[in-house]
Amino acid sequence: MGRHIAVNTLDATANTATVTVAGCKIKVAMSYRGATTGDFGDAVTLAADVRVSGTSAPVPYRPVTLSLGTQSCTARSDLAGRATCRVTISQHAGPVTAGAAFAGDPAYEPGSATAGFSITREQTAIAYTGATTSDYHDPFEASATLTEPDGPVEGKSVSFSLGSGDGCTGTTDASGRATCSITPTQAAGTVPVTAAFAGDADYLGSSDSKPFAITRQETTVTYTGPLVIDAGQPVMLRGQLVE
């Protein structure tokens, strides 16, 4: 039976080394050492230690596949037997499995390890940026910008409401900006205008409000009746009131 010899550590200064000698392939023990939680869209570090089974001797310079749910990356173990790499989470919030796997080679048997991982929804912030005053019955542009810690959030529905009963809905563009038009139908006065993102499978909701002044609409009265009236005769007088 052939022997398998592996150098696990090497100290050039002290002229010492840790060597594993076995009559068959060397068994390995793996343990997951990376992150166990992260927000959607954030980068997280996956890591694992590779050791000779039953010892503290590291297994260096071996390719290790690190996984997070359906995503994965590959790294080589360092002198301490640790392999690390980073992935940006693109999966919906919820529980998934983090893992590490070494396929084995002529000297070492394969090994693997798993751990639970929680993907959480990313935080958002919304800022109302539209008009804050308009006449009764005059349309105005409502707008808001939706962001998360790493930048704008595109393709999300934002609801705008003015006081009670008036509102509209817009969708964020590449800069995170959503717009739509509202026509005030409420009596003159100050009411809140609110922009709200309800949240979804990947993002937490957020909202922002500003005071909004509805002013009275200007009007014009025009006399449209006859300009010549016979004395003693009945006459129909007419006028027109418009905004």
Sequence spans of domains, the chain? 4-120, 125-215
Task: Find, among 118, 114, 103, the residue nearest to 44 by Cα.
Answer: 118
Q: Could you give the CA distance from residue 35 to residue 120 in angstroms, rounded to a whole number? A: 13
Note the pLDDT of residue 226.
Answer: 75
Note the pLDDT of residue 220.
Answer: 75
Instruction: Please name the residue that has the structure tokens 């394969």.
Output: 110
Architecture of domain 125-215: Sandwich (2.60)
Note the pLDDT of residue 1.
Answer: 45
Task: Find, among 38, 150, 154, 121, the residue nearest to 87 by Cα.
Answer: 38
pLDDT tens profile 38-64: 999 999 999 999 999 999 999 999 999
Common-topology check for domains 4-120 and 125-215: yes
The CATH number of 4-120 is: 2.60.40.10
- Distance, first Cα to last Cα, the chain: 101
Which residues lie closer than 8 Å to 177 by C-beta, 6 or more apart?
Answer: 129, 143, 144, 145, 146, 152
**Tokens matching residue 55:** 């010892």
Residues of the chain whose pLDDT is less than 50? 1
